[in-house]
Amino acid sequence: MDLTQPINVVAVNNTRVEYGNVLKSLNMFDVADILKDCTPMLGVKSSLVLGKTKHGTISKKYNGTFTGGTTVGTVVPRTLTVYPVVAEMLDEPEKYRRMFFADVAGGLWNQAHPFELWLLQHGIKVAAEELYSAIFTAKRSESAGATAVTDAFDGFFEIIDADITSGLISAANKNYYVNGAITRANAGEYLLDMWRSRHKTFRTKESIMWLPEDVADLYDDWYKDEHDAPPNVDVAGQSYLDGSNKRCRIKRFASAPEGSQRVILTFKENMIYGTDKLEDMKDMRAFESGNPYKFAAAMKYIFGTQFESVHEREFCVNDRSGAGSGSTSA
C-alpha cells in the first residue's frame, strides 16, 4: 500500500485473496483462550436443537416374557441460536505504519507479506478481543440503540440467568450450589465442596471449573496460605482443583464483571458455541470509504452460545451473580 496515494480497494482485496491462507481467523486470537475449552458447532445458520439424553430404565430380571413399556431415554431439548455480528473498520492507515514495521521486525510477519494484509489481520485481532469480553456477558437486545457486540447474542451468563428464572437451574434440580460468598479463607474448601457435591458419575470424568479472575485470585491466595506455595500446574500451565485428584481443571477467565463470583462447573463437550463457517471469522474485506485516504473494511459472521444440558450430571453453577459485586443470583 502506497500511503501517498489514494487507497486501492481492489488491490487490498486481491492481497487478501492471495494471502488468505496466512490470515488467522478471529477464533485463533484472544477469544481462543475460552473457545478451546468449548465445543464448536458448525453449519448453524439460525438455530439448532441440541440436547442430551436423560436415560430411562430398561434392565430387569429375566422371566422369559418380553413386557416392554420402557424407553432408552428422553431427549431434553435445548436450542442453540446464532445471530449476526459485524466488525467494521474505518481509519487512516498512516497511523499504523510504524506498528506494522515493529511487528515485522519482531518476527510476527514475514516481510513478504504486505501492509494491507497486516491491517486486515489487525482488525480481526481486535474483533477477537471484543468477542472475548462478550462471550460470557452478552445479552441479546432488539433495541435499535443497542449496537455493541454485547447486544448481539446471549452469552453463557445470560443463559444461566434465564434458566434460574425458569427453574431449570435450582437447588431442587441439584444443579445449583448454594453456600454463601467466596473469601480468601474459604476459597479452597468452597470450590472443593462444590465439586464433591456433584453426582458420582460427574466426578469420574475430567471437568472444568470456570473461575472469574477475582475468584481465581482468592483460590491462589488460599492455596498459598494452606501450602506455602503457589498452586501446582502441569506442563501446559493448567492447574487442578486441590483435592480433586486432577479430575477438575481450573479455568480462569477475565471477561466476568469486576467482583463477580459466579462459578461454572461443567465439561468441554457441554459448552457449545455455534457459527456457520469458521472462514467467515477472517473474511475481512475492504470497500470504498468515500475518503481516498481512509481505509474501510468489514467482516460479518454469526455466533451464539448454549449449554447442551443443565442436568446435574453435566452442569452446576453456584448462587453468586454474574453481574459482579459478589451478590447472589435473583
Residues 6+ apart with CB under 8 A from 24: 121, 124, 125, 282
> What's the pLDDT band for 99 if we cut at 50, 70, 90?
confident
Average model confidence (pLDDT) for the chain?
A: 88
Alpha-carbon distance values, 58 to 54, 69, 163, 244 (Å): 13, 9, 30, 33
Separation of alpha carbons 41 and 29, rounded Å: 19
Residue 110: per-residue pLDDT: 56
Nearest to 308 by CA among 43, 33, 41: 41
| Per-residue pLDDT tens digits for 201-210 | 999 999 999 9
Strand ranges in the chain using DSSP code E only, listed in sequence order: 39-41, 47-55, 73-81, 83-91, 176-177, 207-212, 239-240, 248-253, 264-266, 271-274, 285-287, 295-307, 315-318
- Look up the pTM and report it: 0.86
Separation of alpha carbons 46 and 56, rounded Å: 31
Overall CATH class of domain 168-269+310-318: alpha beta
Residue 107: per-residue pLDDT: 57
| Per-residue pLDDT tens digits for 12-67 | 888 888 888 888 999 999 999 999 999 999 999 999 998 776 656 778 788 888 87
Higher pLDDT: 99 or 148? It is: 148
Domain boundaries, the chain: 9-43+81-150+273-307, 168-269+310-318
pLDDT of 11 over the 90 cut: no
User: In the predicted model, what is the mean pLDDT of residues 177-192?
Assistant: 97
> What's the pLDDT band for 117 if we cut at 50, 70, 90?
confident
Asked if 89 and 61 count as a contact pair (C-beta separation under 8 A), the reply is: no
Highest mean pLDDT among 61-70, 71-80, 208-217, 237-246 belongs to: 208-217
CA angle 189, 193, 199 (to 5 degrees): 165
Separation of alpha carbons 27 and 125, rounded Å: 9
- 3-state SS, residue 45: coil
pLDDT of 236 over the 60 cut: no
pLDDT of 142 over the 70 cut: yes
11-20, 107-116, 253-262, 273-282: which has the minimum mean pLDDT? 107-116
Nearest to 306 by CA among 43, 39, 73, 97: 39
User: In the predicted model, what is the mean pLDDT of residues 226-238?
Assistant: 72
29-38, 67-76, 239-248, 319-328: which has the minimum mean pLDDT? 67-76
